[in-house]
Structure 1
Amino acid sequence: MDLHALRLSHPFLILNNTNTNALSLRNTILGFNRRSRRWLKLEATNTNGAALDEAAFEAERLALDAEARSAMAQQGQASISDSNDPKAWKWIIRKRIWDSMEAHNFAQNPRPVHHRIPNFVGASSAADKMRSLDVFQAAQCVKVNPDSPQKQVRFLTLSDGKKLLTPQPRLRTGFFSILESNMLPPGTIKEACTSVGVAKHGRPIGLDEKIKVDVIVIGSVAVDPKTGARLGKGEGFAELEYGMLRYMGAIDDSTPVVTSVHDCQLVDDIPVEKLLIHDVPVDIICTPTQVIFTNTSIPKPQGIYWDKLSPEKLGQIRILRELKKRIERETGQKLPTGPSEKLPPTARRGQRG
């Protein structure tokens, strides 16, 4: 957009936020009217001159998520039915939690909660308990997953003047985006906590970004309060995000990992000895009624475990392909590849670049 072409009836301070999102969807042009003391949105276009179609963006996201959940449902059922599948026990626990949350009406929209990080009654209360943690209050930058039950955590992070680091859903279109309250127009913090809001207002970062993350907030389907063992929804993106942040030097073993769940998601039957090397344990659990320090002794992942990463998953996530090429170029050695797997349709359709 050519700012010189703007004709304004009142004096404005023009701010051009050229931080496009990972899809290069838009630039945000804001004007502050000095006389009325109000912010006005003058124009919002991408580098090709096309405005972000919020309805289309959200419709595509929901459609792709529905496809992914359908495929994960098939994978989970097949795993449970196969007595030789080493991942069957995880799916049995997940299904038990999802079924229980729906049966007892602990679930909140979006429903059904199956094959999601489940939203739950009291999620805001759990977020408030997280906000009271010393590690959260002292944090300057908090990485929060993009799922519904952690929406209030994202809101509190921005409201408290902290940097919010949040991933693109399923790392489908990019990597991470950074948001700060001082880069948002007044009254848009709630919007910035949604997928569309991140696309509109977030600043995407790359692997070379120099950033220190003080707290990681991670979504869970089930978590053991005695050991810190955790199960996600089964796609492995939280582990990949953690591994990439380790590669960037943004986190280390001392970075606290916190989750917020309903009390019914606390379990005691996750076998620690069956966890994989890339599974991320949690240090602190916040529920609507309590805060639990797990004092976990489970080792945290040290990076990306390429020998566990399938060619299909690698093909799904552009940032991982870039990272693999970079490491191979810098070391002069070819990295290993994990066994093949069947991925949801979303993974194939979501490829870009």
Structure 2
Amino acid sequence: MVLSHKEAIRAQVWQELRKVAYPDSRFHYDFSSFIADFVGSQAAADQLLAMPSYSSCTTVFITPDNCLEYLREKTLQAGIKVLITTYGIRRGFWLLDPAVIQPELYRYASTLDGLEKVGQSMSLAEIASLDLQIGFMVTGTGAINHNGIRFGKGHGFFDLEWAMLYTLKVVHQDTMTAAVVHDCQVLDEELIPETYDTVCNLIVTPTRVLRPEAAMQPTCGILWYRLENGMLDDIPPLQELLAMEKAQEEDISSD
């Protein structure tokens, strides 16, 4: 089997990541199935938490990646709401509100097992009605280059999450996007982003913070024809958004 360019890069990075990554209880070291936690992830998260632009947010979006569990806990402790998706977005978006969750449960709420026990399930309509203005979107990733272009697991979940929230107008082109990664995941590899690629404004590692100057976020929303087979069936928020867009088209055509 001939690997694509991105697949070859992932395979190369994953060899180095194996040296510093923690295994997942379900997926062992299968980095195609999860974004790994790694040695130094707390130091990287602390750098992000110390930024005034982060600590001043009222709501942030944080992906359900293993390397961001500590960040989710500390964000709740800082009094900031966390919007998160379940693994693979299959059970949609959830809101972790530190004003509602008991402080002794913040750590539990930050885990994939705990978030659905103590968080609040949120439809896209509910997210829009609350007008959750998200100040940061934070993700882990398989690898990233110095221009902020990510090499994830290959499914594009973060791009889908951005596109859905952008369509709801709770994130905008000036919303900060950050990747929390190990230093070995930062590459010099040159890539041209796709129209739908969510490029990161910040790259935070245990030892440094990089700020790609030319990072631009997509404005195309969901490109329905580019979805992987089965995604629409597996991801309820996509079904909800498609219904919302069809209803809007019908309203326009009836005027």
Residue aligning to 1:206? 123
Q: Choose the corresponding residue for 1:304, options 213, 218, 222.
A: 222
Structure 1 residue 100 corresponds to structure 2 residue 16:
yes
| Matched ranges for 1:61-80 at <5 A | none
Residue aligning to 1:246? 166
Moved over 4 A (4+): none
**TM-score normalised by length of structure 1:** 0.66
Q: Distance in 2 between matches of 1:297 and 1:126?
A: 20
Paired residues, what number?
Answer: 243
Residue aligning to 2:51? 133
**TM-score normalised by length of structure 2:** 0.90
Deviation string 1:268-322 (CA, Å, 9 cap, x unpaired) is 11422xx321111000011001111111344434311122124522122122122
**Tell me, what secondary structure is at the counterpart of 1:304?**
coil
| Matched ranges for 1:1-353 at <5 A | 81-82=1-2, 88-102=4-18, 105-110=19-24, 111-115=28-32, 116-173=34-91, 175-208=92-125, 209=127, 210-225=131-146, 227-272=147-192, 275-310=193-228, 312-332=230-250
| C-alpha displacement of 1:246 | 0.5
Q: Distance in 2 between matches of 1:220 and 1:91?
A: 14
Q: 1:256 to 1:330 in 2, by over 3 A?
A: same
**Tell me, what secondary structure is at the counterpart of 2:114?**
helix
**Considering only aligned residues, what root-mean-square deviation do their CA atoms show, in Å?**
1.7
Q: Check the 8 A contact 1:126/1:286 in 2, yes or no.
A: yes
Deviation string 1:68-123 (CA, Å, 9 cap, x unpaired) is xxxxxxxxxxxxx237xxxx111111111111122xx2112324152121221100
| C-alpha displacement of 1:265 | 0.5
Q: Check the 8 A contact 1:97/1:222 in 2, yes or no.
A: yes
Give unmatched runs, 5+ long, in structure 1: 1-80, 334-353
| C-alpha displacement of 1:238 | 1.0
Q: Check the 8 A contact 1:228/1:298 in 2, yes or no.
A: no
| C-alpha displacement of 1:233 | 1.0
**Tell me, what secondary structure is at the counterpart of 1:332?**
helix
| Percentage of pairs with the same residue | 28
Q: Distance in 1 between matches of 2:87 and 2:244?
A: 23
Give unmatched runs, 5+ long, in structure 2: none
Q: After the TM superposition, which of the residue ranges 324-333 and 118-127 deviates more from structure 2?
A: 324-333
Q: 1:299 to 1:184 in 2, by over 3 A?
A: closer
Q: After the TM superposition, which of the residue ranges 248-257 and 206-215 deviates more from structure 2?
A: 206-215
Larger Rg: 1
Q: Check the 8 A contact 2:63/2:138 in 1, yes or no.
A: yes
Q: Check the 8 A contact 1:98/1:118 in 2, yes or no.
A: no
